Structure 1
Amino acid sequence: MNSPRTSLYRDKHNAKLMGVCSGIADYTGIDAFWLRLAMVVLTVTLGWPLIAYFIAGALLQKKPPHLYRDNQEQQYWQRVRQSPKRTAREIRARFRDVDRRLADVESYYVSNNPRLTAEIERLR
C-alpha cells in the first residue's frame, strides 16, 4: 500500500487546529466531530493525548489538495484502508456481475433469434 491515497495526512482544509483529527477522519471514514470529541475527553482524563496530537501534527504531511477526484473515490479509498480484502471481494463480485451480463448479451445475440435475423436481413 504505497499509494499516496493510502497514507495518513493532516487535513488542513477541514482543520480546527492542526488538522490531525480531520486527517484521521478522512483516513478512517469516521466523522471528525466524534474524533474531536474523543480527543477532548481523552485529553481531559489522561492528558497525554494532547502531546500525541501535537507530535502527530508535527510529523504528518499535509494532505495534497487534489488527492481524490470526487467523494465517491474518497469513500472507495477509505474502504480500501479499512479492509483491503473486502474491497477486493467487492471488485471481483462487480466484475463477475459484468461478465455475467455480457455473457447474457452475447448469448442473446448469438442464439437463433428469427426476429433479429429478419431485422438484420432487412437492413442489408
Structure 2
Amino acid sequence: MSDRRTKFYLDKRNGKVFGVCSGIADYSGLDVTLVRIGAVLFTVLGGFPWTVIAYLVAAWVANDKPYQFQDETREDAKFWQKVRVKPSTSVRDVRSRFRDIDRRLADVELHVTSHNRRLADEIEALR
C-alpha cells in the first residue's frame, strides 16, 4: 500500500511522548507548542479523562510518519498542509499556476516564431 501525504501520522521524531501533538501540528500546520498547550489546557479545564483517552487511542490507532516524508523541504511541508486543510483551494492554486506558466510559454513561443528581424539577426550572430 502506498503512503499518502494527506493522512494523519504520528510524528515521533518531533514528539515528546507518542508524537500525537506533533502529528496534529504537522497535519494542520499549527505550531507544535500551541497544540501541546491547547491539549494541556483542555485536559486541565475539564476534559481530563476524555483527553487522555483520546490521546492514547490516537497513539494506538495512528501509524508512524513514513521515512520518506521525514526529510521533506519546508516548502513541500507547507504545500501538503494546505492540501490537507483545504484541498479545493490547493487544486485551484495549482491550476492557476499552470495557466500562468502556459500563458507565459505561449508568449515565448509566439515571440520566437514571429517574423522578428532583430531576433533572427541575434540567432544568426550566435551561429
**With structure 2 as the length reference, what TM-score do the two structures score?**
0.88
Structure 1 unaligned segments of length 5 or more: list them: none
Cα pair distance change 1:120/1:52, threshold 3 Å: closer
Count residues in correspondence. Answer: 123
CA RMSD after TM alignment: 1.7
- Opposite residue 15 of structure 2, the aligned amino acid is A
Shift of 1:104: 1.0
1:61 aligns with 2:63: yes
How far residue 121 of structure 1 moved from its aligned partner, in angstroms, is: 4.5
Per-residue deviation, 1:55: 1.2
- Equivalent runs, 1:31-70 vs 2, <5 Å: 31-45=31-45, 46-47=47-48, 48-67=50-69, 69-70=72-73
Instruction: Tell me the distance in 1 between the aligned counterparts of 2:102 and 2:13.
Output: 41
Q: C-alpha displacement at 1:96, in angstroms?
A: 0.8
Q: Which AA in structure 1 matches 2:40?
A: V
User: Which contiguous aligned blocks of 4+ residues in structure 1 show a shift greater than 2 angstroms?
Assistant: 117-124
How far the C-alpha of 1:3 sits from its partner, in A, is 5.2
TM superposition score normalised by structure 1: 0.90
